[in-house]
Amino acid sequence: MRAAFIINPFSAKKNYQPFLDSLCKKTDQPLYLISQSLEDTDHFIRENWEKVDIFVAVGGDGTISVVAQKLINTEKILAVFPAGSGNGFSNETNFNKNISRLLDKIKAKKYREIDTFMVNEHFSINVSGTGFDGKVVKEFEKTNRGFKNYIKVSIKTFFNYKPIKIKFLSEGYKSYNGKYLMLNIANTRQFGNNAYIAPMASKSDGLVDLVLVKKFPLTYSPFFAFRMFTKRLKDDDYVTYLPVSEIEFKVSTKTWHIDGEFKKIKSPIHIKVLPKSLRILV
């Protein structure tokens, strides 16, 4: 079974060479691309489509999402070598930085089918959102990334951020109209760095968890953080979970993140799950 590796050279603090050296030592003439653009990746996948069964994304959640979108509803299989700052999707799908283990998985060629979803015309595999965390991602992209910088940006943004207004257009959800700190759509359980925004989310149930978080007082912050990092977040006075397969709403901001990558998206917003649309290596 042939595999192709798509490397984002800007991930892993722009130090992909150790991965590439190890791959070349363990594999005879590996097929790989050091991608410089979305067009590079698209061309490489199309060029090698007929001779490759498994495409390996080497990078963070944004890189994985770009590769995955090309494989939707096909017989091709996605694999991952995590090299991002958060690695939420790879954490949730049991991929790690052990290249020997990855190559063994490729040889075994076992896969499972998982859900993905759309935010208007934007494809997502992990967690996307708007409001506070959309603003955090926008500011985070101006830094050198890393978990410490993420925390610093989050704290600074929290004190200055005004809640967003959400108006649901889908019947049955209008009672949830109001002001919120953030709204997240979770196909898996975590943002990354083991921060579990939706501990009960499943990537193969045909649903995403819509997570509505009201702006909470500073005294609640330690409880929110503790619960998020210990998989204990649940419905309470500030957090609401709505499992949905499709939903529409308007929101008073264009600032979003799609799998951790900053995007501007205009309302109205249409969320739609694509059930069992992606094959991933297990």
Do 97 and 36 fall within a single domain?
A: yes
The C-alpha atoms of residue 186 and residue 281 are separated, in whole angstroms, by 21
Write out the two tokens for 274: 């694509």
- Any domain includes 57: yes
Do 69 and 191 fall within a single domain?
A: no
**Average pLDDT score over the chain:** 92
Q: What is the mean pLDDT of residues 267-273?
A: 98
Write out the two tokens for 104: 């063994």
Task: Tell which wins on pLDDT, 138 or 69.
Answer: 69
Through-space distance between the first and last CA atoms of the chain, rounded to whole angstroms: 15
Do 71 and 130 fall within a single domain?
A: no
The C-alpha atoms of residue 38 and residue 175 are separated, in whole angstroms, by 41
Residues in contact with 271: Cβ distance below 8 Å, sequence separation at least 6, in sequence order: 117, 118, 119, 185, 208, 210, 244, 246, 247, 248
Do 262 and 135 fall within a single domain?
A: yes
Write out the two tokens for 43: 């061309």
pLDDT on residue 84: 84
The C-alpha atoms of residue 137 and residue 141 are separated, in whole angstroms, by 6
DSSP H/E element including 48: none
Q: How many CA atoms lie within 13 A of 41 on its CB side?
A: 24
Do 239 and 146 fall within a single domain?
A: yes
Do 265 and 154 fall within a single domain?
A: yes
Do 127 and 225 fall within a single domain?
A: yes
Do 133 and 105 fall within a single domain?
A: no
State pTM to two decimals: 0.91
Single out the residue in 96, 116, 136 at which a domain terminates. Answer: 116
pLDDT tens sequence across 35-58: 999 999 999 999 999 999 999 999
Tally of domains in the chain: 2
Percent with pLDDT over 90 in the chain: 78
- Any domain includes 79: yes
The C-alpha atoms of residue 92 and residue 189 are separated, in whole angstroms, by 7
Identify the CATH number of the domain in which residue 237 sits. Answer: 2.60.200.40
pLDDT on residue 12: 63
- Any domain includes 55: yes
| Contact of 22 with 102, CB cutoff 8 Å | no
pLDDT on residue 14: 73
- Any domain includes 219: yes
Nearest to 246 by CA among 118, 134, 126, 73: 118
pLDDT on residue 1: 61
Can the peptide bond before residue 268 be classed as cis, meaning omega within 30 degrees of 0?
Answer: yes
Single out the residue in 116, 145, 167 at which a domain terminates. Answer: 116
- Any domain includes 168: yes
Do 211 and 191 fall within a single domain?
A: yes
Highest mean pLDDT among 3-12, 104-113, 130-139: 104-113
pLDDT on residue 91: 93
pLDDT on residue 134: 81
pLDDT on residue 157: 79
Do 127 and 247 fall within a single domain?
A: yes
Do 225 and 130 fall within a single domain?
A: yes
Q: Which amino acid is at 192?
A: G
- Any domain includes 280: no
pLDDT tens sequence across 217-258: 988 988 998 999 999 999 999 999 999 999 999 999 999 999
Q: How confident is the model at residue 132 (pLDDT cuts 50, 70, 90)?
A: confident
Nearest to 99 by CA among 196, 199, 7: 7
In the beta sheet, which residues pair with residue 272? 118, 246
Identify the CATH number of the domain in which residue 40 sits. Answer: 3.40.50.10330
Do 140 and 239 fall within a single domain?
A: yes
- Any domain includes 226: yes
Single out the residue in 68, 101, 116 at which a domain terminates. Answer: 116
**Domain of 52, in residue numbers:** 3-116
Q: Which amino acid is at 25?
A: K
Q: How far, CA to CA in Å, does 36 sit from each of 6, 100, 223?
A: 10, 26, 42
